[in-house]
Structures are given as structure tokens and as C-alpha cells.
Structure 1
Amino acid sequence: MLRLLGAEVRRITGRRASFYGATAFAVLITVLAVVLADQNDGNQALDNYSSAGRYAGLLGVVVMGALAGSYDTANGTMRYLVLTGVPRWQLAAVRLLGIMVAALPMAALVLLISIVPASSAAGGITGDAVVHAVWAVLATLWTWGLVSTGIGMLMRSNGPAIAASVVLFFGGTLITGLVAEFVSETLANYLLPVVFDQVAMWEGKGGANDYRLALGTAVVALVVWLGAIAALAVTRVQRDEY
């Protein structure tokens, strides 16, 4: 399994346009946030810098993940992977794990660029602020990397998989607002964009962002969402004809 994972990570990072382009975009936006923002508090500066980087990175990791999920099927090479005798569920699983590993260099650069200047701001930064920033960046890149990879495996085509993943993030936020307004606010609190945001912020019910779920409930809901997407993707790979 480790050999398969290593090979998958090399394939993801070997798609240079998507990997280096996504990483460069996240770095650029983080640098711009550092240069343009005027912050007098180190912890707030760190939060602002890393938030800019993680949302820019989200767009990049969506492209990386969608390609990781759909590339072999779209290019007709999946049949050769199946012929190696490796179980199909393993071929699917290493894609999901691979995008998590491949996102680490992007996360490290965003955090480094955020932490260094923030530490020199007034008051410096605390250990809790650093831990919060690290978790928020990783949770963002991992969540949407897994979602987009799963969608890529389901859709089997590069362009539509990328488009669907981007639309799911932006459109999902809009749909969540509509559900809260016209259907049920309680239901809206369990939708993917809301539980993702709460888990990334690692904030409980009634905090600064006025989340309505207990943190543990939000974590469970996010795990269920990601598990369902992963299960559908693995099932598609298991049953598909190549």
C-alpha cells in the first residue's frame, strides 16, 4: 500500500501544471495578503494571512484532486492499472490518501509565509494561534482535496470534474443559504459547507461565528459527508468497466 501511495503522490506532483500552478497561486495570494494587509496584532495577522492562503489553496487543490480522481479514466490508462492485479478499492483509496499527502507542500509554504511576518507584528503570536492556523489550513486543503478527488472518480472526465468541484464549493454555500432561508435552518447547519467551516475554525456552538452545532456533532457530520463521497467513488471504481 505504501508503494502504491508513493507512486500516486509522484503522479499527482508530476502533473506540473496543476501541482506547481496551484501551489504558486496559494503562495502568491498569501504574499499579497502579507504585503497589503495592515495588522497591528500578531495573532490576527496570522489568521488573516493563513485564511487568504488556505482559500486560495482550496481552489488549487480542487484542480489537483479532480485530476487525481479522473485522469486515468479520462485518458484510458485505468484499464492497465486494473490489469496489474491490484484490488480496485486500493487504486481508489491511494488517490484519496495521495491528494492529502500532495497538499502538504502547499500547506507548509502558506503557513511559513504567514507565520514569519505575523511573529514580528505587535504582541507576536501565541502557540494556540499557530496550532489554529495549522489546523485550519490542513482541514481546508484535505477536505476539499478529498471531495474533488471523489468527484473526479465519479465523473471520469477532467474538465467536468474540476467544474463540478468548484461549483460545489461556491454553489454549496449559496444552496446552504437558500436552505436556511426557505427550508430549514436546522438542516442547513448539517450541510457540507457549514460543517466544514466549523471544523476548520475548530469552534463550538455559540462562539464568535455563531455556529449552531456542537463541535463534536460538526466533526461527525463532516466525517459522514467525506465518507459518503469516498464510498460512492470507491463503488464506482469497483463496478465500472474499463
Structure 2
Amino acid sequence: MIALVAADLLKLRRRRGLWFTTLLLPSALVLLIVLLTITDTVDGDGGGQFVEDFSYATTLIATILASLVGARLGSEERAAGTLRYQLLTGTSRGRLYLAKVGALVAVCVALTGAATLTMTIGSVVVPLNGADATTVGDVLAAFWAVFLQSFAYGALAFGVGALMGSTGPAIAVALVLSLVGVNLLSALTLIDDWFRHLVLSLGIDRLTFDDAEPEDRVSVVAAILMVAAWSGGALLAGWLRIRRIEV
């Protein structure tokens, strides 16, 4: 299984632009703000406050990048016509599919690690200005927040890619769903307040920042179920599609 995951990461590595964007864009954003802050162009607090503030910014970037990677991983074998040849080597569909999910996890960890490392360095460089110093808990909370959001939306995009089997359209649909579509369900709360349990962003917020308005908050158990249902449901739908493909 490890060899299959490594092979999928190797395919992604050939797309250097994607890797550079994934690893450098979150870091570049944080470094830009650090530069603006230490030159007194903008006001900012260092320490744990810096890490918390820029967790929000980097999670948005992580959502977009994880969606791009997830859609590509889910669709590339069918789009390139290589699924049949891989199956002829004797590797099961299940192992191939799980390897791609493993590659998605690895990318999300790398993306999150790069962002968190840069945020941590920035939090030490920027003056505290009355904020508390950065703690291990701040760093772990930032890592968890960025990773959970990137993986949840990456898994959603992965499922879309597996269902569609065409990389370009899969990326477009995944981005629309990640940035707009999924959370439009919040409009249903105008009909009944229960529908907030369908809004993925509220579930992620409850498990990370937990700063939603009181009327929008859900329980921790509900949040876990929400995130698991969206990400797990998308992966399951993609798997069922892969199982039915004739090669």
C-alpha cells in the first residue's frame, strides 16, 4: 500500500506548479503579512494571536488547493485511460482507491505543515503587542484547523473526481461545491433551524475555531457526524462508481 501511495505522490510531483502552489502559497501569504507588520504597514499582534488570525486565512487557501488535488487524484486514472492497465497488474480496485486517499492525506499534511510552520515562525517574529506568546497548544490547534478543513473539502473533491472521471470538469465542480455550493444549504435554516446540521462549514467550525453565532452552533457529536457524512459520503460515492466501471 505504501508503494502505491508513493506512486500517486510521484505522479503529482511531476506537476511541479501544483506542488509549488500547494506548499508555497500559504507560506507566501503569511510571510507577506509578517513583512507588512514588522514594517508598520499594518497593525498586527504576534504570539498566539498571530497564529489564530492566520489560521483563518490559510484555511481558505487550503480549501482551494486541497480541492484541486482531490479532484485530480479522483479523476486522473479514468481521464488518462490508465485504470485498466493498473488493474491488469493484479492490484485490486480497493487498494488503488485507498492509495489515492492516502496520497490525498499526505498532501493535506504537507500543505498544513508548511502553513503551520510559517505561521509559527511569523508569530515569533511579529511583536507581541500585549498578546500571549505562542504555545504548543496554539500550534497544534492551527495545524488541526487547517488539516481538517483541507481534508474535508479535498475528500469532497476526490469523490466528485471519481464520479465524473474527467479532471477539468471535476476541478470546476469541486471548487464551486467547496466555495459556495455545500454551504448554500445554510439558506434552508430559514425553513427550519435543524437544517444547520447539513452545513459542512458549521461542523468544521465547531471542531476547530468554534466561533459561530450561538444560534448556528451544533454539538460536538453532531459536528463529527456532519464532517464524516460529507467527506465519507463523497469518498463512498466515488468508490461505488469505480466498482461499477467496466475495464
Aligned twin of 1:13: 13
Deviation at 1:208, TM superposition (A): 5.9
- Which of 50, 54, 61 is the matching residue for 1:49? 54
**More displaced 10-residue stretch of structure 1: 151-160 or 52-61:** 52-61
Q: Which AA in structure 2 matches 1:153?
A: A
**Contact 2:54 2:119 (C-alpha < 8 Å) held by counterparts:** yes
Q: CA offsets, 1:124-181, max 9 Å, x none?
A: 2123222211110111221122111111111101111111111012223551332122
- Which of 111, 122, 140 is the matching residue for 1:131? 140
Say yes or no: does 1:192 pair with 2:200: yes
From the superposition, tell whether residues 117 and 22 of structure 1 become closer, same or farther in structure 2 (CA, over 3 Å).
closer
Deviation at 1:50, TM superposition (A): 2.7
Aligned twin of 1:230: 235
Q: Which AA in structure 2 matches 1:98?
A: A
Q: Which AA in structure 2 matches 1:225?
A: W
- Which of 94, 97, 100 is the matching residue for 1:95? 100
After TM superposition, the score normalised by the length of structure 2 is: 0.87
Residue 103 of structure 1 aligns to a residue whose secondary structure is helix
Q: Which AA in structure 2 matches 1:200?
A: T
From the superposition, tell whether residues 17 and 86 of structure 1 become closer, same or farther in structure 2 (CA, over 3 Å).
same
Q: Report the identity percentage.
A: 24
- Which of 93, 113, 117 is the matching residue for 1:112? 117
Q: Which AA in structure 1 matches 2:83?
A: M
Q: Which AA in structure 1 matches 2:165?
A: R
From the superposition, tell whether residues 59 and 208 of structure 1 become closer, same or farther in structure 2 (CA, over 3 Å).
closer
From the superposition, tell whether residues 41 and 16 of structure 1 become closer, same or farther in structure 2 (CA, over 3 Å).
closer
Gap runs ≥5 in structure 2: 37-41
Q: Which AA in structure 1 matches 2:10?
A: R
RMSD (CA atoms): 2.0
Q: CA offsets, 1:31-81, max 9 Å, x none?
A: 233334522352221112232222112211211111111111111111111
Aligned twin of 1:31: 31
Gap runs ≥5 in structure 1: none
Aligned twin of 1:153: 162
Aligned twin of 2:3: 3
**Aligned equivalents of 1:19 and 1:184: distance in 2?**
43
Residue 208 of structure 2 aligns to a residue whose secondary structure is helix
- Which of 184, 187, 191 is the matching residue for 1:175? 184
**Aligned equivalents of 1:12 and 1:97: distance in 2?**
13
**Aligned equivalents of 1:53 and 1:31: distance in 2?**
12
Q: Which AA in structure 1 matches 2:11?
A: R
From the superposition, tell whether residues 174 and 224 of structure 1 become closer, same or farther in structure 2 (CA, over 3 Å).
closer
**Contact 2:152 2:231 (C-alpha < 8 Å) held by counterparts:** yes
**Aligned equivalents of 2:140 and 2:199: distance in 1?**
26
